[in-house]
Amino acid sequence: MRRALLAQLTALAMLVAATFVTLSTTLIPTASALENGLARTPQMGFNNWNATHCRSDFNEAMVKSIADIFVSSGLRAAGYQYVNIDDCWALPQRDTSGNLVPDPARFPHGIKALADYVHSKGLKFGLYSSAGTKTCDSAGFPGALGHERQDAALWASWGVDYLKYDNCNNQGVDARQRYTAMRDALAATGRPILFSICEWGQNQPWTWAQNVGNSWRTTGDIGDNWATMLSIFQKNLPLARYARPGAWNDPDMLEVGNGGMTDTEYRSHFSLWAMMAAPLLIGTDLRKAGSATLDILTNRDVIAVDQDPLGIQGQQVSAAGGRYVVAKPLANGDVAVGLFNAGEGTATISTTAAAIGLGNAHRYRLQDLWSRSSRTTTGAISASVPAHGTVVYRVSRLGATPAPSAGTSQLSALPWALMSNAWGPAERDRSNGEAPDGDGRTLTVGGVTFVHGLGTNARSEIRYDLGSRCTRFTASVGVDDEVGDRGSVVFQVYADGRKVADSGLLRGTDGVRQISADVSGAALLHLTVLDGGDTADYDHADWGNATITCA
Ligand code: GLA
């Protein structure tokens, strides 16, 4: 009886279903980020604040030297691009036309000349203001609230490429309104200007700022000490699902090299920021930096984890006893895993390839990105980690089992090559449910139930080996009824990185949509679910009856 009803409902769903569209070939998700084309990977550069605050050693000579060192020390080559100045660059009063005036003692040739110098080094230039009547420093420099268009136009005329926009003296005006006004003012200049929201996480910007800024601070200010760095990490880590290319969580600038932490702690700081796909803004005076500091800041393997184009912020796998395991899937199918010991003694930290989302292989290679040693494992991943230390492995699959057997198979019955999911693990033949593995309920979209399929939560990325022997993927997709009318997602299917199907935006109020995609010849199938652009919450997404047909 129940079966017959199920068949009827499924047939009905097939009738109303839309066909899929074949689209462009990009691997980079575009849903709901600020569409100014910037920060497709987290921004990298320098900001003077952590090194100088408002002191007089923050001046033209310093900033020019930083640009020089970016080139001479290989920082530019390692990916650092923006040379940014923070608070205290302006005079306390606007001029008679209401324009901001650079402080002539610090910047005798003005800001435009400084930006020109930075540009001449093949770098980009950023500055700072506040979405308030004054900036944050007690000296009280003018803020841009109510002056958005005029200030943005002036900065654009100077060649500014980046704005850090603070939150002090905001007069209680709604944050979203204040930051949106500046977003629009920057856009009106016609110059691409990266927009870095610095609102300290006070109004949960991760729930509204994806379309407003390229990044948003998630916490109060960092300090050059272990306790502050640790507490910021702990606040920023659970926000992984809100980050995406063009729109990043910002746990504040780096303190690496400033002297308040050990090199082991600074390596942890840098590793954790990279695992969290954080902006990497050097905050030390590079004129005084020793080789240990430069070695940390230029570790290209760790930088590659931060800058990976898949753009997924690493997620917590476990954290028992302050022994953190954080996993970050990478574009080439590897997974970076951070084993971070927040405790006071050496500890063994262990996980497995399966727990970090890798599967369907006989062996895995572990590349230690700090010691640069490499070894293989059949699945166990473990390291002895000193107090406050972090081991980062790039884990690669070796000896994958090639293809599903001939005929049509349910994907939920096959081992995945890679699984990354924003709310606990993806479920097989169940909805995502809550975070624990194996919970959830019968997959249900718009009242239609599915015995088989995958229950996920955006952002989700699941990959299967096809061994180039399969022809067609089909599924009935939609937002699971377990979230009511909430949730909004986009389903995408890729064959070897080529997009072969896209559901378009599906909301909790929509029914089932059919996807059918030609995957002929592909070695790898990617099933991607992106947040549809409202809040990134309640995005429970079902791949109902997901099948693959192989020769
Ligand atoms: C605030 C910001 C800091 C820095 C100072 C400058 O505290 O959060 O990052 O810009 O203002 O005054």
**Residue-level pLDDT at 477:** 98
Domain contains 59: yes
Strand order in the sheet with 488-495: 418-420, 460-465, 524-531, 488-495, 498-507
| Last residue in a domain, options 306, 339, 360 | 306
Question: Which residue's C-alpha comes closest to atom 5 of ligand 1?
Answer: 136
- Pocket test of ligand 1: the residue of 47, 58, 86, 129 to mutate, having most ligand atoms within 8 Å of its CB, is 86
The verdict on the CB of residue 250 being under 6 Å from ligand 1 is no
**Residue-level pLDDT at 494:** 97
- Pocket test of ligand 1: the residue of 136, 215, 255 to mutate, having most ligand atoms within 8 Å of its CB, is 136
Domain contains 263: yes
d(CA 312, CA 330): 8
422 beta partners: none
Q: Note whether 297 and 350 are same-domain residues.
A: no
> Phi then psi for 72, rounded to 5 degrees?
-75, -25
**Residue-wise pLDDT tens digits, 140-171:** 899 999 999 999 999 999 999 999 999 999 99
The verdict on the CB of residue 199 being under 6 Å from ligand 1 is no
Q: Note whether 473 and 377 are same-domain residues.
A: no
**Residue-level pLDDT at 32:** 60
Dist. CA 104 → ligand 1 center (Å): 22
The verdict on the CB of residue 137 being under 6 Å from ligand 1 is yes
Range of the domain at 337: 315-398
CATH value at residue 146: 3.20.20.70
Give the SS3 label for residue 532: coil
Q: Note whether 93 and 184 are same-domain residues.
A: yes
Domain contains 13: no
Peptide bond into 459 cis (omega under 30): yes
Q: Note whether 84 and 233 are same-domain residues.
A: yes
d(CA 224, CA 228): 8
Dist. CA 114 → ligand 1 center (Å): 21
Dist. CA 223 → ligand 1 center (Å): 11
Dist. CA 116 → ligand 1 center (Å): 25
**Residue 101 to residues 87, 195, 309, Cα–Cα distance (Å):** 13, 21, 39
Dist. CA 37 → ligand 1 center (Å): 26
| Last residue in a domain, options 341, 373, 398 | 398
Q: Note whether 335 and 471 are same-domain residues.
A: no
Domain count, the chain: 3
The verdict on the CB of residue 87 being under 6 Å from ligand 1 is yes
Query: Angle CA(376)–CA(377)–CA(383) in degrees, nearest 5?
Result: 95
The verdict on the CB of residue 158 being under 6 Å from ligand 1 is no
Question: Which residue's C-alpha comes closest to atom 11 of ligand 1?
Answer: 136
Amino acid identity at 542:
D
d(CA 60, CA 116): 12
Residues 6+ apart with CB under 8 A from 449: 6, 9, 442, 443
| Last residue in a domain, options 351, 377, 398 | 398
The verdict on the CB of residue 255 being under 6 Å from ligand 1 is no
**Residue-level pLDDT at 7:** 41
d(CA 406, CA 16): 30
**Residue-level pLDDT at 9:** 44
The verdict on the CB of residue 198 being under 6 Å from ligand 1 is yes
The verdict on the CB of residue 166 being under 6 Å from ligand 1 is yes
Q: Note whether 184 and 284 are same-domain residues.
A: yes
Tokens encoding 136: 């944050």
Q: Note whether 503 and 525 are same-domain residues.
A: yes
DSSP per-residue codes, 201-250: TTT-GGGTGGGT-SEEE-SS---SSHHHHHHHHHHHGGGGGG-BTTBEEE
Q: Note whether 257 and 376 are same-domain residues.
A: no
Q: Note whether 97 and 245 are same-domain residues.
A: yes
**Residue-level pLDDT at 23:** 35
Tokens encoding 329: 């899937």
Dist. CA 439 → ligand 1 center (Å): 43
Domain contains 36: no
- Pocket test of ligand 1: the residue of 53, 221, 222 to mutate, having most ligand atoms within 8 Å of its CB, is 221
Domain contains 16: no
Domain contains 529: yes
Q: 481, 540 in Cβ contact below 8 A?
A: no
**Residue-level pLDDT at 418:** 97
DSSP per-residue codes, 295-341: HHHT-HHHHHHHT-TT----EEEE-GGGEEEEEEE-TTS-EEEEEEE
**Residue-level pLDDT at 2:** 38
Domain contains 213: yes
Nearest atom of ligand 1 to the alpha carbon of 198: 8
Q: Note whether 438 and 546 are same-domain residues.
A: yes
d(CA 239, CA 209): 13
CATH value at residue 507: 2.60.120.1060
pLDDT less than 50: residues of the chain: 1-31
**Residue-level pLDDT at 276:** 99
CATH value at residue 349: 2.60.40.1180
Instruction: Tell me which residues are annotated as active site.
Output: 166, 221
Q: Note whether 290 and 324 are same-domain residues.
A: no
Q: Note whether 348 and 436 are same-domain residues.
A: no
Query: Angle CA(451)–CA(452)–CA(457) in degrees, nearest 5?
Result: 110
The verdict on the CB of residue 221 being under 6 Å from ligand 1 is yes
The verdict on the CB of residue 163 being under 6 Å from ligand 1 is no
Dist. CA 136 → ligand 1 center (Å): 6
Domain contains 23: no
